[in-house]
Amino acid sequence: MRKYFNAALLVTLAFACAPKEQGATIDYTTMSDAERLEVATKMAQETIMVDGHVDLPYRMKVGGFTLQREVLDVSVRTPDGNFDFPRAKEGGLDAPFMSIYIPAGLQQTPGSSKALADSLILMTERLAETFPSQFAMAYSPADVEANFAAGKVSLPMGMENGSALEDDISNVAYFHERGIRYITLTHGKANLIGDSSYDTVRLYNGLSEYGEKVVAEMNRVGIMVDLSHVSDDTFKDALALTKAPVIASHSSVRKFTPGFERNMSDELIQAMAKNGGVMMINFGGTFIDSAYATGADKVREHLINYMAENNLSRRDSAAQAYIAEYSSANNPFPTVQRVADHIDHVKNLVGIDYVGLGSDFDGVGDSLPTGLKDVSMYPNLIAELLKRGYTKEEIEKICYKNVFRVWKAVDDYAASQKG
């Protein structure tokens, strides 16, 4: 960010941040790109920002996280990964849902999925305990608001793959007590709950009988039903059963990736909006542009052949220099504009009230788009939306108000069941 502002920009910023009751109307589309980015950065840092899916806990597990700072200390800037505290503060990220990710392969060993979930929850709690001035747990929108006021990054938790429930319905209440606030019903394979979008085997053609009980129990205890990863039939079954709004914590629009069932069709987007739910856009390259996979494969093939022909490995400085130069010249990555296209599509199809952010940072490898490579870069997306005519109020809905509405509705329904 530039340290010095010209007088005109200071006036622009003053109007942009003025309270609504003063009647200030700002046309962000007329600003220069640099001015708009300054406004977007300030907006990101002054607005609560929720991201529906960040895979930090599994990254910590793979990295051998302990309470020893020298292993993986995300309270300081890290050389790899997409998330740490300094970058989160730069980008205005306040409440990344920590993904308690359970690989589908563990389903073959009873008890192992729940055991991993327990360990990742404990790991997330230890992160907050180890760095209490930077991080804090969050179990409700009110917790996020309090942490935001204190300058802390909240760590709400969502469990990615309902397989951790095993075959015991009482585990739904157990995981709510442990702090889980959404459960992604399936992951890469069908499980006891229902069918997965990634799995060619359809065991139930939707939800299983057990899955129907799981959805009802999630409603009862106050866990958001997350329909990312599920098959279309599982999606429709869950929507037909749920008594509260649902989310898709990290899914994008299928229009831009024809044939990719993991993304949501217009029919499903409209059905989710009718339910009152929110779709949180995934930033991964394969999720936002079908051309990415083809382009990335071509670049990868060329680089493999180049290294083989020149007897080089990726560790060699000559190879690294060539890889950087070639990749830059033949960049296969989509850009931040493509992510904005997905948000545009949802807004134009069903309205601004049903879209949010679900980056999948630390979960989609190096496929992230140019301009959104880590959590410091959310202002680039906000700037692009402002350029397209989005208002400050619409940005706030995307950043947190829409998902807060669903979260509160789920909590309210659960509270009504206790009477």
What is the full DSSP assignment across 397-410?
A: IIIIIHHHHHHHHH
Task: Tell me, yes or no, whether 311 and 353 share the same domain.
Answer: no
Asked whether residue 312 falls in the same domain as residue 350, the answer is no
Average the pLDDT over 208-227 and give the result.
98
Given a contact cutoff of 8 angstroms between Cβ atoms, the answer to whether 254 and 260 are in contact is yes
Residues 310, 348 share a domain: no
pLDDT of 419 reads 67
Among 280, 307, 333, which residue terminates a domain?
Answer: 333
- Domain total for the chain? 2
Q: How do residues 26-66 score in pLDDT, each as one tens digit?
A: 899 999 999 999 999 999 999 999 999 999 999 988 876 55
Statement to judge: residues 243 and 144 lie in one domain = yes
> Is the domain of 347 the same as that of 317?
no
pLDDT value, residue 333? 85
Between 323 and 405, the more confident residue is: 405
C-beta of residue 102 within 8 angstroms of C-beta of residue 113:
yes
Q: How far from the centroid of its chain's Cα atoms is residue 407's Cα?
A: 15
199 and 91 in one domain? yes
Average pLDDT over residues 155-183: 98
Q: Is 370 helix (H, G, I), strand (E, B) or coil?
A: strand
Going by pLDDT thresholds of 50, 70 and 90, the confidence category of residue 292 is confident
Mean pLDDT for 366-395 is: 96
Is 17 a member of any domain? no
Q: pTM for this one?
A: 0.89
Helix axes 170-177, 209-221, angle to 10 degrees: 40
Statement to judge: residues 143 and 80 lie in one domain: yes
Output the pLDDT for position 64: 65
Q: Are residues 90 and 226 in the same domain?
A: yes
Q: Which of 333, 363, 386 is the last residue of a domain?
A: 333
Closest C-alpha to 350, from 248, 269, 247: 269
Does residue 12 belong to any structural domain of this protein?
no
Q: Which two tokens stand for residue 169?
A: 């319905």
7 domain-assigned: no
Q: For 31-34, which contacts have Cβ atoms below 8 Å and span 24 or more sequence positions?
A: 31/386, 33/383, 33/387, 34/2
As a whole-number percent, the residues of the chain with pLDDT over 70 amount to: 92
pLDDT at 196: 98
**pLDDT computed for residue 10 by the predictor:** 43
With both helix axes pointing from N to C terminus, report the angle between 33-46 and 378-387 in degrees, rounded to the nearest 10.
120
Same domain, residue pair 196 and 54: yes
> Do 364 and 297 fall into the same domain?
no
User: Of 44, 142, 38, which is closest to residue 94 (Cα–Cα)?
Assistant: 44
Which residues contact residue 71 at a Cβ distance below 8 angstroms, ignoring those fewer than 6 apart? 63, 64, 65
Which residues span the domain enclosing 362? 29-289+337-417
User: Is 382 within a domain?
Assistant: yes
Specify whether the CB–CB gap between 289 and 281 falls below 8 A. Answer: no
For residue 104, give the CATH number of its domain.
Answer: 3.20.20.140
- Same domain, yes or no, for 93 and 180? yes
Structure tokens at 149: 């006021």
Residue 395 sits in the same domain as residue 315: no
In tens, the pLDDT along 255-289 reads 999 999 999 999 999 999 999 999 999 999 999 99
346 is a domain residue: yes
